[in-house]
Structure 1
Amino acid sequence: MVCDGARVTLHFSLALPDGTEIDSNYDKAPATFRVGDGNLLPGFEAVLMGAAQGASVSVRLPPEQAFGAVNPDNVQSFPRQRFASLLANTTDPVEEGTVVSFADSEGNEIPGVLKQIGEIHVVIDFNHPLAGREIVFNADIVSVIAPGTEAVKIQL
């Protein structure tokens, strides 16, 4: 059974309520993660809890259990001059909707979506692109290994 610390292997898909697929590994090798390791968002892990090998899960998650609600504080305005060289690039033009990467004080990459290019300011949205959206999560559990169990794969 899926529980904290279990190693879970599964096929999954994420879609919008209208059926638009966001991500899927059904046509690839299944993904493996340890419950609680941060590789799967807590809301997705929560719906898997208690499921056993061979189980299928299909659930529509509200934004708060998926990628979060839209946080207005994550939409920020910057002086346009700060983006002068980026906006002047004619080879790979930047337009509204373009994802721009920033670095925080520790050098970690932070993506933001260019929402508005004004004469004086540029508006960047640092919310996850799926924030505020309901997500349909489907999963087929291939295997569950209980916490503390050592698994060794033997190939003949």
Structure 2
Amino acid sequence: MSEQSVISERSTVVFHFDIKLSDGSAAESTRVHNKPAKLQMGDGSLSPAFEAELLGLTIGDKKTFTLAPEDAYGMPNPDNIYYVDRSKFSADAPAKVGTIIGFAMPDGSELPGLVREVVGDSVTIDFNHPLAGQTLTFNVEIVQVS
């Protein structure tokens, strides 16, 4: 086995993952569309705790591990909750509880927000990651290491 095929702090890793909530229900999976994720270890896109679980794995390895909210998607941030006037919503994108709506950002990107509550003319929008605050179980399968 070459040194290249073992995941280190500088590896680029292609892997499949499945995420399950603490009740065992499925939250997300790269297998649905057979599009594995790609990660540059150490780039900050995933938590240090997640990366630590991958260190030492090789192509074909499978591993299951559970991360606390702080080590997965973090805890919900109250600063990411916004109150928007109901008149800002259109018939095409009505303010209905449970709906995820994309909001245009100044740089042209789109930020998804979850409608949490509608009271009178006030709509509560949550911009936290939907899995924030959740203890999650990850099943990973390493596809490629470089």
TM-score (norm 2): 0.80
2:61 is aligned with 1:36: no
Cα deviation per residue 1:80-104 (whole Å; 9 max; x = unaligned)? 2323xx2xx2x77541011111122
Question: What pairs up with 1:12-91 in 2 under 5 angstroms?
Answer: 12-26=17-31, 28=34, 30-37=36-43, 41-42=46-47, 43-83=49-89, 86=90, 89=91
1:56-89 Cα offsets, whole Å, 9 max, x none, are 2211111111111011111111222323xx2xx2
Which of 8, 12, 18 does residue 13 from structure 2 map onto?
8
The runs of at least 4 aligned residues of structure 1 exceeding 4 Å deviation read 91-94
- Tell which deviates more after alignment, 44-53 or 120-129: 44-53
| Identical-residue share of aligned pairs (%) | 39
> Residue in 1 aligned with 2:3?
none
Secondary structure, aligned partner of 2:56: coil
Secondary structure of 2:111's partner?
A: strand
What are the ranges of 5 or more consecutive residues in structure 1 without an aligned counterpart? 146-156
Q: Give the CA RMSD over aligned residues.
A: 2.2
Note the residue ranges of structure 2 that are not aligned, 5 or more in a row.
Answer: 1-5
Q: 1:113 to 1:64 in 2, by over 3 A?
A: same
- Going from structure 1 to structure 2, the CA distance change for 1:81 and 1:143 (only over 3 Å counts) comes to closer
Give yes or no for contact 1:80–1:118 (8 Å, CA) kept in 2.
no
In our comparison, the structure showing a higher alpha carbon Rg is: 1
Letter in 1 for 2:18: S
Native 8 Å contact 2:100 2:113 kept in 1:
yes
Q: Secondary structure at the match of 2:51?
A: helix
